[in-house]
Structure 1
């Protein structure tokens, strides 16, 4: 009998890029030391997915727990102590993940402030895109060494949902120490029944989810449902499964889920297009005919060579209109402020750094951040 008994096998939602969240309870032994017992099967799933041409970003807890396993028992009390444990354990955590892969693992430490500030958000986004393009496996954690508020929350479930939107993931996979969502807490209620599919997370679901989970982690099923709500707002579906069930994890690589599927009301692309269409624009970028045709017909990014000029004032990260001098036909997120766009207009991408003294990438508006209106 498997740990996921009771959940019906179903097809995993189709995906090309996913975020896999792994909690502390799956990475620590009963005594608190870091262990790869369950991580090995999860890493095998990542490896098989990459062999199939997919991309996976890992959001991994466990730094504080790993540090606690290295420190003397009396150390680590209080906030400063936990921050020190995070710094101590972070290298062990990354070494654990790197030990499972031949591809390089890239450590990325984020705080919620990095994701609230628009410029830092875009910088993180650009870095993660480049890491994926380089064929690395990004392993993301909160920067617990300095992030006071985030360390108090200790909520990597919600961080994973934010990262999923950040990297334009198609799917958020949450590896739990329980099979999925139940009608009640299965640890205390013998009548609790597994829930295979949730069309939309409701207050009733949140109420039945309870509070914190295991002693090693600080989140429970409630934070996983909160993460699913955030992911759904970006058009990203979430699946919760038992990361301790090797057979369950193995089936994921074959496209089979034994757990809970939490659906999004609209597709990722539809959610992003809706947001771009309805967010107030900060200005306008004017393009030539060639660039207009490339954006309309070929799904291209907007490069500086096709830019004629910029109207109004807008900052890096603002939503802007895009037009050809006669018609506004698109909207997108500008990688450069209005003044910078004017300076690099008509330039080749290799000239950006020389003109500005820095570069945020070759695209003025990346195709993933752009919506073209129907003609």
Structure 2
């Protein structure tokens, strides 16, 4: 029977202390011998394996270093010290992908809970290294893809894909609050060039603005955009119900023209001729001036259905006004129409201290829908409204 020489815990602790001292003093070979006595005894901790790894590093044996680190992480997968050294080991041999994985693990673990104050500088260094490799990775990808036309007109969707791959943007999906139509493309901001009929609408912007300014002279013309629904429970999760900070003046409302308002805005009525308005009796279209008062913010929310697009014709736009749809934020530009899917999370704000922001809003059918599909959607929602005998009011 083999005699056990190092079974005494006191002897093992002495070997650990002697090995750690030798490592600090640059005697890597002696340190390794001391640590090996503990591992051979079959009682190593993650710290001991880390000591073995550091001794092998000092002896320039990367393969043995990583084997020891793997043993340490097998005992303690969340050991920040072992993860950090593993990242450094891979960085030293030029394996950026592996190094990034370990540095990323360090940063994520540190975000989950308290970290030993002595390790905080290493956590900060891991974050810096991760960022450096992220920049190198992005430069590498874009350098390759630029040669394939990434920055050209055909690269628009690929640019978004690359941003998602790099974690520079988040993925936002259609989540209409009421009616979802399957298999429509998930597009945040539609391409303006796909809607040539908007040229006529933009051409009328000056005339529409003159009519708007006349309406604005009457304080009572605008009413809060979000109104309580009669005969229904009302929950105001966004703090907008009855709030005049976001107000509206309707030319069409719930699918019907508002005669007295249309008479005041004949340029709007003419501009809507030939527009593929989303027409569902009792529901849509809605055509309105949407007003945001200074300092107003419409919190993130989702629209009624993905079967339509929302169009904006900006008419009065001071500075510090913008809208985010999904991952992309855009400012409004007076007289330049934009088209977006409001079933994707969106928000808007007017951060100007003392000026209004007003846009003309109207909703159109998604162009991917056939005439038969549009008819079926309309019939479905009318059937919903007819159930129970009470008319629909609002979206």
TM-score range, shorter chain: under 0.3
Report the TM-score, using the length of structure 1 for normalisation: 0.23
Q: Which has the higher contact order (CA 8 A, sep 6+)?
A: 1
Instruction: Name the larger-Rg structure.
Output: 2
Report the TM-score, using the length of structure 2 for normalisation: 0.22
